């Protein structure tokens, strides 16, 4: 088990900063998953799950050591929900892909309806209010200011909704990720999780490009199995 422990605790040292290889590799899987999602490939979901598992061990510092000696409950908790939502997305995209006769594109993107949009905005607002209270009640192992819990709740809830929206094939999910990144990148950098902060900054550029790709597809493509969307909604 010694070699497994050494592998688990392996770090990259840059100047005075120590970065877990788990964080780097986990983010690499996350970036690959984002590219797969942009290209509407089913494999994006299982690849993302691997990254989520690795990143959970990075952010849940209360149980797994990390160089920052911090636990980001929102960041750790969302990895768990990422996995659960990704299982749903994996199943949903696979169903669509099978119905399309093995088409390389699993789904045809579309905008959320006004009713769907009102629902996710309402959940986001309510979730942030409840989430910040819950995170503040749990506390951290360091004297975190109140704004930290609001930011963590915003990232937590927004990430869940963005992943769900991706599973549904809504163009909105790209815009939701931009809203998450605007808060997530500064928070991660402030907390010294530099690989994650840099990845999310780079991911922001990918999100903007991915949005244009999905928007174009939603305008030019027609869903060959529209009845399936209703059947598995």
Q: What is the pLDDT of residues 21-58, one digit of tens each?
A: 888 888 889 889 989 999 999 999 999 999 998 888 88
Q: What is the pLDDT of residues 124-147, one digit of tens each?
A: 999 999 999 988 887 766 677 888
CB 78 within 8 A of CB 200: no
Q: What is the pLDDT of residue 62?
A: 44
Q: What is the pLDDT of residues 213-228, one digit of tens each?
A: 999 999 988 765 555 5
How is residue 19 annotated by DSSP? E
Residue 29's nearest CA partner among 53, 11, 7, 10 is 53
Q: What is the pLDDT of residues 156-176, one digit of tens each?
A: 899 889 999 999 999 999 999
| DSSP-based three-state secondary structure for 218 | helix
pLDDT at 4 over 70: no
Query: Structurally, how many domains does the chain consist of?
Result: 1
Residue range(s) defining the domain that contains residue 34 = 2-231
Handedness of CA 214, 157, 57, 200 (dihedral sign): positive
């Amino acid at each position: 088990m010694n070699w497994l422990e050494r592998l688990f605790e392996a770090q990259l040292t840059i100047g005075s900063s120590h970065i877990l290889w788990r964080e780097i590799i986990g983010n690499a899987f996350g970036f690959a998953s984002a590219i797969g999602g942009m290209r509407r490939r089913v494999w994006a979901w299982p690849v993302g799950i691997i990254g989520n598992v690795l990143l959970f061990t990075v952010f849940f510092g209360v149980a797994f050591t990390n160089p920052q000696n911090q636990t980001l409950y929102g960041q750790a908790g969302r990895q768990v929900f990422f996995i659960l939502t990704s299982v749903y997305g994996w199943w949903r995209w696979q169903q669509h892909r099978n119905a399309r006769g093995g088409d390389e594109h699993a789904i045809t993107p579309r905008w959320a309806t006004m009713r769907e949009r009102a629902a996710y905005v309402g959940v986001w607002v309510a979730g942030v209010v409840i989430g910040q209270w819950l995170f503040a009640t749990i506390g951290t192992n360091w004297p975190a200011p109140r704004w930290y819990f609001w930011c963590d709740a915003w990232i937590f809830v927004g990430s869940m909704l963005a992943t769900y929206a991706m599973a549904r094939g809504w163009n909105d999910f790209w815009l939701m990720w931009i809203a998450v990144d605007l808060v997530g990148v500064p928070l991660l950098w402030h907390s010294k999780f530099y690989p994650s902060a840099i990845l999310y900054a780079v991911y922001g550029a990918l999100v903007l490009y991915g949005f244009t790709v999905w928007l174009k597809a939603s305008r030019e493509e027609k869903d060959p199995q529209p009845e399936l969307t209703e059947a598995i909604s």
